[in-house]
Amino acid sequence: MLTWPPVVSFFLRPPMSALPVHCALLGYGFAGKTFHAPLLLAEPGLHLASVLSSDAAKVHADLPEARVESDLAALLADPALRLVVIATPNDLHAPLARAALLAGKHVVVDKPFTVTLAEARELAALAAERGRVLAVFHNRRHDGDFLALRALLAAGTLGELVQLDSRFDRFRPELRDRWRERATPGGGLWYDLAPHLVDQALQLFGLPEAVSARIATLRPGGQACDWWQARLDYGRLQVCLQASMIAAGPMQRLAAYGTRGAWIKHGLDMQEDRLRAGGGPRDPGFGLDTNAPTLYLGDDAVSVAQPMPVGDYAAFYAAVARAVAASDAGDATTAAALNPVPPAEAVAAMAVIEAGLRSQAEGRAVGLDLSTAERAAFEHG
């Protein structure tokens, strides 16, 4: 019998001991509207007070009580504001996070953390210098299938793991006029989806020995990457990651192969679809995934449907609220321990992202550009 890692549900979290943390959301496009706003509103330890946007009508249609500000300096000058959440185009992540940290605010940055490893390092150092909480929104650590896989590997059910395939495919053969599909810094599918799959791999297996990647634009007229494959080399274990915009049919999301059997999961965790449909973490069944994985064990490869743990995107902001409260109370040690995605882990993920770009450019496997101190910070948190 597998036991799931401890995941505190939305309804079982202890109450906050202090007043809710006033926060501002920078950007109200897809990420801000679909992911961050609903999750912020669902967390009792946070109060979404302000939104930075040039479209006040759009924001007020969903958040009638929020203050909408088009000027960043004016928003950051608010002394009641303690947390800034950045959900803008990727190339704005670093400058906006820098401005917020310099203004004394705690910061959450949507993935990817930054566009370059140098920017990631700069922000991590600035947050440490200013004593502020800095977290990156790697929400897919809270996918039900990822939680199931983590528990399966911890239990040793598959024996020695030799290969993991992790895919995030879509079928969108038509081009769209949006920043994610333009030849801009941080645009394209590598920056969009590689951070999810890379972060999950790092959480399961640590830092790879080398990275090999092939990054391409396959749709006619495309400006940015819309297909990629990457291999993270862990010696006897090979982790194969892929994302595509032109993959029709059912998606094999995860496949783990070990010396005793295999575990295969089709379909994406359902929390995103429920958020897209206007749902939220308070809704019954929000974190349930009905796409049960299959476990194959033994020489006869008998398959057994596996139960799924409940996914919990709301856990991210619950942890952020407590980390900010601890930091503001002067307890830096507790704040660091509560940070759901600390800067050292986000820097490591960016090192893999940059290694993939280098591998594509040089046509070879490359190592991670991380110092001994950065590796130790990742390993020991």
23 contacts 324 by C-beta, under 8 angstroms: no
CATH code (residue 182): 3.30.360.10
Burial of 362 (0-12, 13-18, 19+ CB in 10 A): exposed
Same domain for 24 and 128? Answer: yes
For residue 219, the SS3 value is coil
Query: What Rg do the C-alpha atoms of the chain give, in angstroms?
Result: 20
- CA 359 vs CA 28, 297, 364, 367: distances in Å: 34, 36, 5, 9
Query: Is residue 5 a part of any domain in this protein?
Result: no
Same domain for 93 and 211? Answer: no
- Say which residues have a Cβ less than 8 Å from residue 75's Cβ, sequence separation at least 6: 24, 26, 50, 52, 69, 81
Instruction: Give the distance from CA 217 to its chain's centroid.
Output: 24
Query: Is residue 289 a part of any domain in this protein?
Result: yes
Query: Is residue 372 a part of any domain in this protein?
Result: no
Cα separation, 94 vs 341, in Å, equals: 16
Report pLDDT for 179. Answer: 75
Domain-ending residue, one of 288, 311, 334: 311
Same domain for 167 and 41? Answer: no
Indicate the pLDDT class of residue 331, thresholds 50, 70 and 90.
very high
Report pLDDT for 12. Answer: 41
Same domain for 95 and 181? Answer: no
Indicate the pLDDT class of residue 7, thresholds 50, 70 and 90.
very low
Please state whether beta strands 46-52 and 67-69 pair in parallel, antiparallel, or not at all (unpaired).
parallel
Query: Is residue 355 a part of any domain in this protein?
Result: no
Query: Is residue 332 a part of any domain in this protein?
Result: yes
Same domain for 133 and 147? Answer: no
Same domain for 319 and 307? Answer: no
Same domain for 192 and 275? Answer: yes
331 contacts 313 by C-beta, under 8 angstroms: no
CATH code (residue 43): 3.40.50.720
Query: Is residue 328 a part of any domain in this protein?
Result: yes
Same domain for 157 and 288? Answer: yes
Q: What's the number of domains the chain is made of?
A: 2
Same domain for 129 and 191? Answer: no
Query: Among positive and negative, which fits the CA dihedral 204, 206, 212, 217?
Result: positive
Query: Among positive and negative, which fits the CA dihedral 280, 145, 10, 342?
Result: negative
Query: Is residue 370 a part of any domain in this protein?
Result: no
CB atoms under 10 Å from CB of 95, counted, come to 14
Lowest mean per-residue pLDDT among 165-179, 220-234, 347-361: 165-179
Query: Is residue 362 a part of any domain in this protein?
Result: no
Extract the tokens encoding 19: 């007043």
Say which DSSP state 140 is in: G
Residues of the domain holding 149: 140-311
Same domain for 145 and 292? Answer: yes
Q: Which residues pair with 228 in a beta bridge?
A: 215, 243
Same domain for 40 and 83? Answer: yes
Backbone angles phi, psi at 247, to 5 degrees: -115, 100
Per-chain mean pLDDT for the chain: 93
Same domain for 271 and 151? Answer: yes
359 contacts 366 by C-beta, under 8 angstroms: yes
- Model confidence pLDDT, tens digit, residues 155-210: 999 999 999 999 999 998 898 888 787 888 999 999 999 999 999 999 999 999 99
Indicate the pLDDT class of residue 326, thresholds 50, 70 and 90.
very high
Indicate the pLDDT class of residue 300, thresholds 50, 70 and 90.
low
